[in-house]
A = this chain, B = another copy of it.
Amino acid sequence: MRTLNVALGARAYPIHIGGSLLDRPELILPHLKTRRVVIVTNDVVGPLYLERLQSGLKALDVGVGTVVLPDGECHKDWQTLNLIFDALLGDRCERSTTLIALGGGVVGDMGGFAAACYQRGMPFIQVPTTLLAQVDSSVGGKTAINHPLGKNMIGAFYQPRLVLADTSVLNTLPPRELAAGLAEVIKYGLIRDPEFLEWLEINLDRLLEREPEALAFAIERSCSNKAEVVAADETEQGERALLNLGHTFGHAIEAGLGYGVCLHGEAVAIGTMMAAELSLRLGWLSATELARIESLFRRAGLPVTGPKLGVERYLDLMSHDKKVEAGRLRLVLLRGLGKAVIHADSPAADLAAAIEARCA
């Protein structure tokens, strides 16, 4: 088992990474405030893993309640969040009860937001079960639900007390979901870790084969990159924005197609290609470097060109992005492989050309 510490002062917490951690509830015990937990999961992950986690905790004399939500991004809303509150209040949970989120990013985001709000904050533990959740959404304390007018618009910054990333549960993950997680893994290499990027170019196939050691390394390295950025900028005022490489374009694609058509990681891969294209036009990235990014995404099974929504529509959708400040579009671009920068006011013609180049 690998353990990484997220340095957030009084809110510091460990991430344990390794095989079969679901069967080691003793890792969870020291992080509970009282011997009482509620596990929040969904109707896809629940049947696979809930019983194991639950019985392990019960054997340690922990009282365990459960809430099983309907699966899917389309349920990341008020109505579903209220199912958690209904259960917590119905069970008379105290604010010292710990909420454990068992599932992908959707369950983690909703469980975390519910924990942040329940009696103004109850202890929270993440057991992420998708690669994306293990390398991204479970680290950093962002929680949220969607609003009909925007994704992740209602939420909180709320840190877990522990993240348990069990690499074995990734064996049941559909290949497309694995690939989507790899998009975020590759992102860390691109924005700030050129050495990791090279490791990925060499070891990508091992990840696709779900080799436990390779997965554990990639997850640890990803989390450590994210944790460093988050520790430096917990509430997203500056550096943390670099984590959004490809995301402003990506969100436009997700919104333009209607949520659910394209996975988030897929949209990020395409968006990253658009950001790379723009960086190329600004003279910051060479054609060879751009080709290396493209090849890595392709090998991972990710798309590298976006839907033909039309440049105008892209720009309009991008202007709705949360990262827009006082009307200015700030984009994360690449100054070479392994170095991201924030750039406001890219020339409109270059931006349009970059989008166009990736809508084939």
Interface residues of A (CB under 8 A from B): 34, 78, 82, 85-86, 89-90, 92, 94-96, 116-121, 142-144, 147, 149-150, 153-157, 235-236, 320, 322, 324-326
Task: Say which residue of B34, B119, B322 sits within 8 Å of A119 (CB atoms).
Answer: B322
Whole-angstrom CA separation of A147 from B90 in the bound complex:
11
Residues of B within 8 A of A154 (CB): 85, 117-118
Residues of B within 8 A of A322 (CB): 95, 119
Whole-angstrom CA separation of A120 from B86 in the bound complex:
23
Whole-angstrom CA separation of A82 from B82 in the bound complex:
13
Residues of B within 8 A of A120 (CB): 142-144, 155-157, 235-236
Copies in the complex: 2
Whole-angstrom CA separation of A116 from B85 in the bound complex:
18
CB distance from A179 to the nearest CB of B (A): 28
Tell me the nearest residue of chain B to A155, going by C-beta: B120
* A-B residue pairs in contact (CB < 8 Å), sample of 7: A85-B154, A86-B149, A92-B320, A118-B153, A119-B155, A120-B157, A156-B156
CB distance from A48 to the nearest CB of B (A): 30
Whole-angstrom CA separation of A326 from B144 in the bound complex:
29
Residues of B within 8 A of A144 (CB): 120
Whole-angstrom CA separation of A34 from B95 in the bound complex:
36
Q: Are A150 and B89 in contact (CB under 8 A)?
A: yes
Residues of B within 8 A of A86 (CB): 147, 149
Task: Say which residue of B92, B95, B155 sits within 8 Å of A117 (CB atoms).
Answer: B155
**3 shortest A-B CB distances, which residue pairs?**
A89-B149, A120-B155, A117-B154
Task: Say which residue of B85, B121, B324 sits within 8 Å of A157 (CB atoms).
Answer: B121
CB distance from A327 to the nearest CB of B (A): 8
Residues of B within 8 A of A92 (CB): 320
Residues of B within 8 A of A147 (CB): 85-86, 89
Tell me the nearest residue of chain B to A79, going by C-beta: B78
Residues of B within 8 A of A82 (CB): 78
CB distance from A152 to the nearest CB of B (A): 8
Residues of B within 8 A of A320 (CB): 92
Residues of B within 8 A of A236 (CB): 120
Whole-angstrom CA separation of A324 from B96 in the bound complex:
10
Task: Say which residue of B116, B150, B324, B325 sits within 8 Å of A156 (CB atoms).
Answer: B116
CB distance from A148 to the nearest CB of B (A): 8
Residues of B within 8 A of A89 (CB): 147, 149-150, 153
Task: Say which residue of B78, B121, B149, B324 sits within 8 Å of A235 (CB atoms).
Answer: B121
Residues of B within 8 A of A150 (CB): 89
Residues of B within 8 A of A235 (CB): 120-121
Whole-angstrom CA separation of A82 from B153 in the bound complex:
12
Residues of B within 8 A of A156 (CB): 116-117, 120-121, 156
Residues of B within 8 A of A117 (CB): 117, 154-156
Known: A78-B78, A82-B78. A326 touches B94 (CB 8 A): yes
Tell me the nearest residue of chain B to A149, going by C-beta: B89
Q: A85-B153, A120-B142, A120-B235 are in contact. List 5 more A-B contacts (CB 8 A).
A: A86-B147, A89-B149, A90-B149, A94-B324, A120-B156
CB distance from A147 to the nearest CB of B (A): 6
Interface centre among A34, A144, A153 (most CB of B within 10 A): A153
CB distance from A146 to the nearest CB of B (A): 11
